[in-house]
Amino acid sequence: MMAGVIFIFSAAALLQFFISYCRSLIAASSKQALSAEVKDVTGIQRLASGDDFKRVMQLLQLCPERPEDRNSVQAIGAYFSFLNFLRSTVARFIPSMQDWTESERGHCAYFAAVALERRISFSRDMLAQQMDA
């Protein structure tokens, strides 16, 4: 009985902490403006939509990985999958949740675009270093 109560409460808290933690990762990147180049490549002009995420992630995988952002990109990928799951299950019956998941998916796509921007400049720095050497 006690273990059951603890399990339910912990699982609910885990979900809440996971959402808040992913949002804190996203919030740190939301202030960063995208360069014109990344806007062109990703097709994101001002607001990103959830449908952009897959495409931006594919572009992201084409760039050399930066060790610093690997974990945060994976965490946001997991968060995006969770949002997709919510969208296709619970949100079908609750319209306000549909809007919320769509807005969150858009934030995830924007986060991925910011990560892409960082990877592009990282690749350029590496190339410049190799040219100098």
Site residues (vs other proteins, CB under 8 A): 3-4, 6-7, 9-11, 13-14, 16-21, 23-25, 27-28, 68, 71-72
In this complex, which beta carbon is closest to other proteins, that of residue 7 or of residue 127? 7
DSSP 93: T
HSE, CB side, 13 Å, CA atoms: give it for residue 69.
24
In this complex, which beta carbon is closest to other proteins, that of residue 18 or of residue 122? 18
CB of 111 to other proteins, least distance (A): 13
CB of 125 to other proteins, least distance (A): 17
CB of 75 to other proteins, least distance (A): 9
CB of 63 to other proteins, least distance (A): 18
CB of 129 to other proteins, least distance (A): 21
**Phi–psi pair at 51, nearest 5 degrees:** -70, -20
Alpha-carbon distance 57 to 67, whole Å? 16
Alpha-carbon distance 38 to 116, whole Å? 8
In this complex, which beta carbon is closest to other proteins, that of residue 58 or of residue 81? 81
Sign of the torsion formed by the C-alpha atoms of 91, 96, 101 and 106: positive
In this complex, which beta carbon is closest to other proteins, that of residue 27 or of residue 127? 27
DSSP 34: P
Alpha-carbon distance 79 to 122, whole Å? 25
In this complex, which beta carbon is closest to other proteins, that of residue 28 or of residue 128? 28
